[in-house]
Chains A and B, each alone.
Chain A
Amino acid sequence: GQGVEQPDNLMSVEGTFARVNCTYSTSGFNGLSWYQQREGHAPVFLSYVVLDGLKDSGHFSTFLSRSNGYSYLLLTELQIKDSASYLCAVRDGNTGNYKYVFGAGTRLKVIA
């Protein structure tokens, strides 16, 4: 079946970096997205990847390895305000399947 797995929690120090991991298993693949969700707020889109490799978007970078069913979101120069839940979502590429399968999110806590 389809599944997206993420670690529940992650803690990092302000000014350093955090890597949020995501592994997935889907029958097809048509891209992977990362979202940020603050407590009590809607998820907000951060990044989309469909090709292998690292995509650098400044504060956020994303990596994808399709053969391993693996992605990570890398946050650099962490600030306290980066504390949030980070969601990984995979789109199955099979015909007629348009939904995203979401992980339960990794709750990142940035400490001083």
Chain B
Amino acid sequence: NSKVIQTPRYLVKGQGQKAKMRCIPEKGHPVVFWYQQNKNNEFKFLINFQNQEVLQQIDMTEKRFSAECPSNSPCSLEIQSSEAGDSALYLCASSLGTGGAGTLYFGAGTRLSVL
């Protein structure tokens, strides 16, 4: 079973409000990914980190989201001003490395509803 812990499981926000979710990666995993899974089950990559450094992020993440993975603290993903279209399941995954066989271990996700 995955040991990636995401909190909270459910998050309800109004439009324009901040929404923050956290992720504790599996112990010893330096690489962390955030994905958004929409109601059609489509995955959208948001950002990934190796240790505390951002490896890649998409444009949306750069502008409306903030994310960090400080040492000795949970990783976090925050939407600065929530929009209805942000309603989705946010999945955090950790991995041992960035190489091809780097299996992703997912948390159970945070389901965000923006009213």
**Nearest A residue to B55, CB-CB:** A98
B26-68: which have CB < 8 Å to A? 31, 33, 35, 40-43, 45, 48, 55-56
Q: How far is the CB of A39 from chain B (nearest CB, A)?
A: 10
Q: How far is the CB of A52 from chain B (nearest CB, A)?
A: 15
Contact B45 A42 (CB under 8 A): no
Contact B41 A33 (CB under 8 A): no
Contact A96 B106 (CB under 8 A): no
Residue A102 CB within 8 A of the other chain: yes
The segment from B12-20, B69-77, B78-86, B96-104 found at the interface with A is: B96-104
Give the chain A neighbours of B93 by CB distance below 8 A: 43
A59 to B106, CA, bound (A): 22
A42 to B37, CA, bound (A): 11
Residue B25 CB within 8 A of the other chain: no
**B residues bordering A, Cβ < 8 Å?**
2, 4, 31, 33, 35, 40-43, 45, 48, 55-56, 91, 93, 98-109
**A residues bordering B, Cβ < 8 Å?**
30-31, 33, 35, 41-45, 48, 50, 85, 87, 89, 91, 93, 96-105
